[in-house]
């Protein structure tokens, strides 16, 4: 008898339970670059994983809500939280979770999955949660590192910094560009007015990484940063 496929919640929870700490705990480079110097306020981290981004934001004065489907991943982040870090950890399936308020920053980094994930709907709800004058930052993979075969069977998650320096990625055809994301946010979407938004960054940004043999290499992230008008 074939066992039924795990639900997304089961898949990610089992993955974190079996692997232990999966990521370095460091902030993703795109978030650090795009948000450094921005006056802190309230932030929502969508698909926070083990909280590397959320903790960096908190260290820099932000009041953060970090949301992920895996309680185990969130527990790892909470264990690394300092006494002065203002982070609220929320275990929820983003497929049916709606932000309860608005935030000065809403960020989503490497929100990709091999199991079911209504990414466009999640990001639309995320955009709707940006407060007037606030920022929306969406960072995604744009392709595989050169040392991986194009169709290698590997996993993705919301934070790319693995403790073993590995890179896990989809077939390039599965990965939306920044323009794809921008189009999907506003296409046939009555809840968002495109005229209220200014594009601050859009496209591919090169990032240094270490190859498995220890040599230095680079990869490109897909980055979209928008600001919502004050009125």
Instruction: Give the per-residue pLDDT at 14.
Output: 87
The reply to whether 77 falls in a domain is yes
Quote the strand ranges of the chain, DSSP E.
42-46, 63-68, 86-91, 103-109, 130-141, 197-210, 216-228
* Spatial distance between the Cα atoms of 223 and 231, rounded to a whole number of angstroms: 25
Q: Could you report how far apart the first and last alpha carbons of the chain are, in Å?
A: 58
Q: Which residue range(s) make up the domain with 146?
A: 8-161+169-228
- Tell me the sheet residues that pair with 103: 130
The reply to whether 3 falls in a domain is no
Instruction: Give the per-residue pLDDT at 145.
Output: 55
The reply to whether 180 falls in a domain is yes
The reply to whether 224 falls in a domain is yes
Instruction: Give the per-residue pLDDT at 24.
Output: 61
- CATH number at 188 reads 3.40.50.150
Label residues 45-56 b or e (16+ Cβ within 10 Å = b): bbbbbbbbbbbb
3-state DSSP call for residue 218?
Answer: strand
Domain total of the chain? 1
Cβ contacts of 136 within 8 Å, gap of 6 or more: 105, 106, 107, 126, 127, 130, 197, 224, 225, 226, 227, 228
The reply to whether 2 falls in a domain is no
Instruction: Give the per-residue pLDDT at 198.
Output: 98
CA torsion through residues 23, 66, 10, 158, sign: negative
The reply to whether 210 falls in a domain is yes
Kindly report the backbone phi and psi dihedral angles of residue 11, in degrees, each rounded to the nearest multiple of 5, phi listed first: -60, -50
The reply to whether 127 falls in a domain is yes
* Spatial distance between the Cα atoms of 178 and 204, rounded to a whole number of angstroms: 8
Among 57, 142, 70, which residue's Cα sits nearest to residue 107?
57
Cβ contacts of 56 within 8 Å, gap of 6 or more: 26, 27, 31, 32
Tens-digit pLDDT profile for the chain (231 aa)? 456 788 888 888 988 887 766 556 689 999 999 999 999 999 999 999 999 999 999 999 999 999 999 999 999 999 999 999 999 999 999 999 999 999 999 999 998 777 778 999 999 999 999 999 999 999 988 665 554 543 344 443 333 333 333 344 444 447 889 999 999 999 999 889 999 999 999 999 888 877 777 777 788 899 999 999 997
The reply to whether 178 falls in a domain is yes
């Amino acid at each position: 008898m074939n066992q039924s496929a795990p639900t997304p919640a089961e898949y990610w929870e089992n993955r974190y339970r079996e692997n232990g700490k999966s990521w370095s705990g460091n902030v993703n480079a795109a978030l650090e670059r795009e948000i450094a110097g921005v006056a802190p306020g309230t932030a929502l981290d969508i698909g926070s994983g083990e909280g590397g981004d959320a903790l960096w934001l908190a260290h820099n004065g932000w009041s953060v809500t970090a949301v992920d489907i895996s309680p185990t991943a969130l527990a790892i982040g909470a264990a690394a939280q300092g006494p002065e870090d203002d982070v609220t950890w929320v275990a929820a399936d983003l497929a049916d979770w709606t932000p309860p308020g608005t935030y000065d920053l809403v960020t989503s980094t490497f929100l990709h999955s091999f199991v079911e994930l209504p990414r466009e709907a999640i990001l639309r709800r995320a955009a709707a949660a940006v407060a007037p004058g606030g920022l929306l930052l969406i960072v995604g993979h744009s392709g595989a590192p050169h040392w991986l075969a194009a169709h290698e069977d590997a996993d993705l998650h919301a934070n790319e910094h693995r403790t073993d320096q590995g890179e896990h990625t989809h077939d390039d055809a599965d990965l939306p560009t920044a323009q794809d994301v921008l189009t999907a946010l506003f296409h046939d979407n009555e809840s968002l007015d495109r005229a209220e938004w200014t594009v601050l960054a859009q496209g591919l940004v090169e990032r240094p990484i270490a190859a498995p043999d220890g040599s230095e290499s680079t990869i490109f992230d897909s980055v979209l940063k928008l600001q919502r008008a004050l009125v």
